[in-house]
Structure 1
Amino acid sequence: MPSLADIKQVNAAYKPTVKDAVAVFFGGTSGIGKETAYMFAKKFDSPTVIIVGRSEEAGNKIVNDLKELNAKATFIKSDLSQMKEVVRVSDIVKRDVTKINLLFLSQGILSTAGRTETSEGIELRMSLNYYGRWLAVKELLPLVQTAYDEGDKDNARVMTVLAPGNEGPYVEDDMQLRTKFSMMNQNRHIVQFSSAAVMKFAREHPDLSFIHAHPGLVATGIMRELPWYVRYPSAILMKTPWAVSPADSGEKFFYMSASCPKFAHGAFLLNPACESIKEKPVSKGYLTEQHQDKIWKHTEEEFELALNGLNKA
């Protein structure tokens, strides 16, 4: 288990050989995504960094900061809860760059609300935290493969920031949770589906890296959508020694998504200490190829329904 000091030492010593590096951050206007983008701009030589998010004000501020770090930075404003928007953004990215060294996915919300559907008929939190992220992977993966094929062997990675560790049995006859929605089921589906996608994509693209990583307790603004009786205790927790700053979290996520060679190829489920926790769900049979394929088949069906306006709210 590397300490934060160890991670910072690795990052400080890291001298990438990649030329014209490209990173795309979905949900990069604040918190972990933003800080990892700053690290990417500091360590790579004149990289291209694309930030995607809702807040134009925050996005423009980050772009200006990145340009001061000698990055070629752009911001794309988008509501990433909409599958059509994910495709639109992906089309812009494919037009603007020819490879991606890091595809970083951290868009999402925390919510205690009941089932809330987007206009495309997908439950909102599941849309942001799972479906939209993996539609972006599906759309942009050829550019990640190109990075590897052109010689960036250790810098062709996909990172999703969520919560591995809660993989397990899911509601197989209601995978979109239209009739069996609960907060417990929702969390299980998002985590299980994300880890299954990491396993499936790594199986089919063994040269690349697919990482599902748990950030732990980070002092970001993600709690802002929660009720006051959840926000206030959370604010106290953020002041404890267990919470890390966004900047320190950015160091950890840069380590996993760029500087550490042991995460360069394969499937990784990582806890907040950057340790593997893949072994438990694999040994219990939660991430078999059968589960991977069943979950992905469902996922692609949801993409098709949403993109063609066929989902029923």
Structure 2
Amino acid sequence: MSVWKYATAGCVFALSIMVLRKMIRFYKRGIPICSTKEMRNKTVIVTGANCGIGKATALELAKKHARVIMACRNKEKANAAILDIRKMTGCGELIFKYLDLESLKSVEAFCQDIIEHEQKLHVLINNAAVMNHPYAQTEDGLEIHMSVNHFGNFLLTNRLLDLMKKSSPSRIIFVSSALHKYGKVNFEDFKGHQRKPYADSKLANVYFARELAERLQGTGVSVHTLHPGMVNTELSRHSVSPALNFIVNPIKYLLLSSAEEGSQGIVHLAVAGLGSDTGKYYNKKGQEEKWPEISSDKAMWKKMWEVSEQLTHLNKAI
């Protein structure tokens, strides 16, 4: 009996500590830890900006007077996010533009719109992603994680490079995941079931980011990759059945970082004076970390680029 008493007391104590830590985080969330440099006259694209880390990032950049293009596939959710952000700040400019990374046709149309109507693009934040989505093929015949988390980003970024070079100094930020170090890219099949769909697709995107940084040396366009850690957002909505959400959601709220906390490193990389730094890897606070060994094979970077170039028809004129 005494064992259960101590176990219960321990659980209550641990829960109390978690609640207290969450309350402290909530109190401090309005205190920025990132650079206070403003973004006046800067245009930023944030993909997946209607919720989670993307929305929190859009809010913080708007506070810094940036012109934020919210690239989302759901117009209603994007407009609702804009209304929410406007309740918290009247600064900056917020613009919705339709983008569905599942569709290469949609990516092409979005990029054409940006090229035709935007004079400058200073920051591109590749944030949108899917995780643990049920197996599906996109209209382009690609497995959905590979399409959204890598191939869509590959085409989007490359199509906008000329505008970013014209706007230099500019920067590209990849919101990655530490889970990429558990991935393995199957170069023989991007259509079927992947071994670890999320990790595999994030590793593919890391290969792209590293190769891109090499190719953009000396152009005035820098490349930065960040893992935000485990964050309580809608990204994990496919990981647990709806029936279990009522149990899991409170636990996630207590244990995981909030979207606001997860966005801090991204915002820091978007606004900080990074000088000539490029091709580096950062944690959720924007602090540099060593690249995992799996991402350091340059032959894999090149191979991923070549395959992506073929599957996205990158060399086709738009």
Query: Same fold judged by TM-score > 0.5?
Result: yes
Provide the C-alpha distance between the structure 2 equivalents of 1:64 and 1:273, rounded to a whole number of angstroms: 27
Q: 2:313 aligns with which of 277, 282, 304?
A: 304
Of 118, 134, 141, the match for 1:113: 134
The structure 2 residue matched to 1:89, chosen from 104, 110, 122, is: 110
The aligned residue for residue 122 of structure 2 is 101
In 2, the alpha carbon distance for the partners of 1:230 and 1:175 equals 33
Q: Which residue of 1 aligns with 2:45?
A: 24
State the SS of the aligned residue for 2:69: strand
Percent of matched pairs sharing the same residue: 19
Query: C-alpha offsets along residues 130-157 of structure 1, whole Å, 9 cap, x if unaligned?
Result: 1111211011122222221xxxx4xx22
Measured in 2, the distance between the counterparts of 1:231 and 1:183 equals 26
1:221 CA displacement = 2.0
Q: Secondary structure at the match of 1:266?
A: coil
Structure 1 residue runs without a partner (length 5+): 309-313
Please, what TM-score do these two structures have when normalized by structure 1? 0.79
User: Aligned match of 1:122 in 139, 142, 163?
Assistant: 142
AA aligned to 2:271 is A
Name segments (4+ residues, structure 1) moved above 6 Å.
none
Q: Deviations over 1:138-190 (max 9, x none)?
A: 11122222221xxxx4xx22112221453377355515153xx3442x23431
Partner of 2:99: 78
User: TM (normalized to structure 2)?
Assistant: 0.78
- Is 1:269 the counterpart of 2:269? The answer is no
* Residue-by-residue CA offset, 1:9-44 (whole Å, 9 max, x unaligned): 553x6234x651101111111111111111111113
How big is the shift at 1:298? Answer: 0.4
Q: Which residue of 1 aligns with 2:165?
A: 145
Secondary structure at the residue paired with 2:57? helix
User: Which of 62-71 and 75-84 deviates more?
Assistant: 62-71
2:160 aligns to what SS in structure 1? Answer: helix
Residue 217 of structure 1 corresponds to 230
Higher RCO, 1 vs 2 (CA within 8 Å, ≥6 residues apart) = 1
Evaluate the alpha carbon distance shift between residue 269 and residue 15 of structure 1 in structure 2; reply closer, same or farther with a 3 A threshold: closer
Aligned mate of 1:63, from 82, 93, 99 = 82
The DSSP-based 3-state class of the residue aligned with 2:79 is helix
Distance 1:171 1:197, change over 3 A: closer
Contact 1:164 1:195 in 2 (8 A): no
Q: Rg: which structure is higher?
A: 2
SS of the residue corresponding to residue 157 of structure 1 reads strand
Match of 2:10 in 1: none
Amino acid corresponding to residue 235 of structure 1 in structure 2? N
Whether the 8 Å CA contact 1:220–1:246 is kept in 2: the answer is yes
What SS does structure 2 have at the residue aligned with 1:210? strand
Question: Closer, same or farther in 2 for the Cα pair 1:171/1:103, shift >3 Å?
Answer: closer
Letter in 2 for 1:195: V
| Amino acid across the alignment from 2:304 | I
Q: Which string of whole-angstrom CA distances, capped at 9 and with x for unpartnered residues, describes residues 84-127 of structure 1?
A: 1011011111122122111112222222523x101210111211
How far the C-alpha of 1:250 sits from its partner, in A, is 2.5
| In structure 1, C-alpha distance between the alignment counterparts of 2:53 and 2:139, rounded to whole Å | 28
Decide whether aligned partners of structure 1 residues 215 and 173 sit closer, same or farther in structure 2, where only a CA change above 3 A counts: closer
Describe the shift of the 1:173–1:245 C-alpha distance in structure 2 as closer, same or farther (beyond 3 A): closer
Contact 2:120 2:167 (8 Å CA) reproduced = yes
Q: Report if aligned partners of 1:198, 1:268 keep a CA contact under 8 Å in 2.
A: no
RMSD: 3.0
Residue segments in structure 2 that go unaligned for 5+ positions in a row: 1-24
Once the two structures are superposed, residues 261-301 of structure 1 have per-residue CA deviations (whole angstroms, 9 ceiling, x without a partner) of 348631122233544444432xx6x4333211111000111
Give the total of aligned pairs: 285
